[in-house]
Amino acid sequence: QSSVTVFGIVDAGVQYLKNGDKTLHLLSTDGQQSSRFGLRGVEELGGGLKAGFHLEGALNPDTGTADSNRFWGRRATVSLISDAAGEVRLGRDFTPTFWSISRFNVFGTNGVGGANNLIYGFDGSSSSAKTIVRSDNSVGYFLPEKLGGVYGQAMVAAGEGSDGKYLGLRLGYATGPFDVAVALSETDNPGGKKFKVYNLGASYKIGDAQLMGLYHVSKEGAREQANYVLGAIYKIGAGQLRASYVHSENSGDLKKGDYSGNLFAVGYRHNLSKRTSLYSTISRVDNSDKGSFVIRGGSAVQAGQSSTGFEAGITHSF
């Protein structure tokens, strides 16, 4: 059956969280990559034209649940792809601005070390920031692959008579050891508010090391959160040493004063094969007097309290 590939990831581990003075032991998931089940395929139509589809949803091996609201909620798209003219993609898909959060962040958007612990703190994945990762009802366009290192995409999404109307753009350039991209987006949020995101990311490879940086801003009305992410990956045989620093600060918030936080994370990944790896990460979030950022998954902290996390797990792809 050549027309469909069944694929997925199961990622589970053990986790310890200390948020403020509350500790928690967890059978954790998605410490390194998001657990998922998916189907995808590409059909050659001749003349450099292809059709493709991609259906992918989240799953939680700790409790055996899938996403009960959106079974194929990670991505559900159908595409027409031209080698020369690029790809048109319809459905639910990742937003252009999301890709830079993931691509220029050594811990991606997973686990106790992920920069998303702070970046999503603007509003979590709550309704007012719901396009921070994906958008429903989208029409996307991707530049063709052979443009001498230039890559890019545009996405528009229908509000369908309600909120959620979206416009996003991303443009990048990758050559040799160097990769840089800018992205921006605007979403119509409830109450006539605009949710705006823009970011600039870059990475550079030197020998066995890779350096990464990301500047990411989320805005809604007078509220704004700026995030600075720095990271490095160092290859050691079949392993990878990873370190990340994130600084996030809110302005224009109703909470007066310095609402900011820093995340430090160090981790090690050991590849047992291309499909299977073991990992361990330790991280800490420190808050300013007014800040209450946390490592996601535990309880909330009081303003100014810190959050510490440790996890060790296994990621298996199929």
List residues near its own copies by CB under 8 A. 1, 3-8, 10-14, 24-27, 37, 39, 41, 43, 45, 49, 51-53, 55, 57, 59-66, 68-78, 80, 90-92, 134, 136-139, 157-158, 160-161, 272-273, 275-276, 313-314, 316-318
Cα dihedral 303, 306, 307, 310, rounded to 10, equals 180
| CA 59 to each of CA 33, 129, 188, 279: distance values in angstroms, whole numbers, following the listed order | 12, 22, 29, 19
Closest distance of CB 257 from its own copies, Å: 31
Burial 67-87 (b: 16+ CB within 10 A, else e): eeeeebbbbbbebebeeeebb
Residue located via tokens 């790896």: 277
Which is closer to its own copies, CB of 60 or CB of 288?
A: 60
Rounded to an integer, what is the distance from CA 58 to the centroid of its chain?
14
Give yes or no for a contact between 263 and 284, defined as CB atoms under 8 angstroms apart: yes
Helix %, strand %, coil % for the chain, to 5? 10, 60, 30
Nearer to its own copies, 127 or 276 (CB): 276
Q: How far apart are the first and last CA of the chain?
A: 17
The CB-of-118 to its own copies minimum distance in angstroms stands at 23
Smallest gap from Cβ 224 to its own copies, in A, equals 29
DSSP, collapsed to helix, strand or coil, labels residue 220 as strand
Least Å from the CB of residue 78 to its own copies: 4
Q: To which H or E segment does residue 175 belong?
A: strand 166-175
Distance CA 273, CA 36 (A): 19
| In the complex, least distance from residue 149 CB atom to its own copies, rounded to whole angstroms | 30
Phi-psi region of 11 (alpha: psi -120 to 50; beta: other; left: phi over 0): beta
Q: For residues 209-222, b (16+ Cβ closer than 10 Å) or e, as one string?
A: ebbbbbbbbbbbee
For its own copies, give the closer residue by CB, 205 or 316.
Answer: 316
CB of residue 80 to its own copies, shortest distance in Å = 6
Q: Which is nearer to its own copies, 61 or 213 (CB)?
A: 61
Lookup: tokens for 165 = 């109307």
Residue nearer to its own copies on the CB measure, 57 or 201: 57
DSSP one-letter code for 96:
H
Q: What one-letter code names the amino acid at 191?
A: G
Two tokens at 32? 């390194």
Q: Please, which residue, 94 or 99, has the CB nearer to its own copies?
A: 94
Q: How far is the CB of 30 from its own copies (least distance, A)?
A: 12
Minimum CB distance to its own copies smaller for 91 or for 231:
91
Beta carbon of residue 8, minimum distance to its own copies (angstroms, whole number): 7
Nearer of residues 105 and 277 to its own copies, judged by Cβ = 277
